[in-house]
Amino acid sequence: MLALSAIYLCSQKLNTISKKLSVVRGLCALLRYTKAQVENYSMPCGEILRRCPREILLLCGYEGDEPPKDFSELYEALYIEDAEAKRIFFDFADDMGNSYRAEQVRRCEEFLALMSERERYIASRQPIEKKLTVTFSVSAVLAVVILAL
């Protein structure tokens, strides 16, 4: 029973590691989309989110039926595993809609650069974290088997 628990926890941890990267990739896609909408159409935040493709919101981890009214509402609805990505998106959500178009475009570029850097970091760490998780789980299973004998 303990061996099965270790295997289950390993699979859950592996899912969490993968989901962390996919959410950050979704946030990068959302930032790129937002920048394009502000730059090309000078759209307000609510309209940007209303027109945002559902696939992008799903990539971010948003599961609501209706699009959020603003970025702060979207932030509250998301579960972002990575603390640094969460901080970056919080700052972005807090900043959106508070200045003129040119400044908003510049800020979108800054936040996109930060989030892209975070994405690269998480992607580079992912294989290491997966190997460690599998190694610890296999070790735990072997320890249980040895203790049972």
Mean pLDDT (10-residue bins), the chain, 149 residues: 78 91 97 95 90 96 93 94 96 91 94 98 95 88 83
CA-CA distances (angstroms) from residue 70 to 27, 34, 93, 94? 15, 12, 8, 10
Q: Which pLDDT score is estimated for 9?
A: 83
Q: Which pLDDT score is estimated for 141?
A: 82
Question: Could you please report the per-residue DSSP string of 27-64?
Answer: HHHHHHHHHHHHHHH---HHHHHHHS-HHHHHHHT---
Which of helix, strand or coil describes residue 5?
Answer: helix
pTM above threshold 0.85: yes
Q: Which pLDDT score is estimated for 44?
A: 87
